[in-house]
Amino acid sequence: MALAIIKIKIMPESPDTDLEDIQKQAEKTISGEKGSNIKFEKEPIAFGLNALNIIFSREETLDSDSLINNLKEISGVNSAEITDFRRAIG
């Protein structure tokens, strides 16, 4: 089975949403869905709003839809979408 490198962008509900709390919950969710090597990056969008980009690896055969749905259920999350999905070599 091959590994995939996945990048997900999470948009918070407002600029006042606590991204640290979303990050902690997202890390638990991704780890529970067999994700590893999790890295977080904040991306400025506009007017004080920041997105949270998550980069991690996991088996490419696992269902990504359930992961996205679980991330959308985190309090303060407006949307979550996969922005990059690549097969890892090696």
Superfamily of domain 3-82: Ribosomal protein S6/Translation elongation factor EF1B (3.30.70.60)
Q: Taking residues 31-55, report their average pLDDT.
A: 95
pLDDT, residue 66, reads 93
- Asked whether residue 90 carries a pLDDT value surpassing 80, the answer given is no
Q: What is the pLDDT of residues 54-80, one digit of tens each?
A: 999 999 888 899 999 999 999 999 999
* Global pTM exceeds 0.85: yes
> Which residue would you say has higher pLDDT here, 90 or 41?
41
Which residue ranges make up each domain of the chain?
Answer: 3-82
For β-strands 36-46 and 49-59, DSSP reports them as: antiparallel
Beta bridge partners of 7: 55, 84
Structure tokens at 83: 């922005």
Q: 49 vs 20, 77, 83, CA distance in Å?
A: 14, 12, 18
pLDDT, residue 69, reads 96
- Asked whether residue 14 carries a pLDDT value surpassing 90, the answer given is yes
Cα 81 to Cα 16: distance, rounded to the nearest angstrom: 21
Q: Which residue is listed with tokens 């055969």?
A: 61
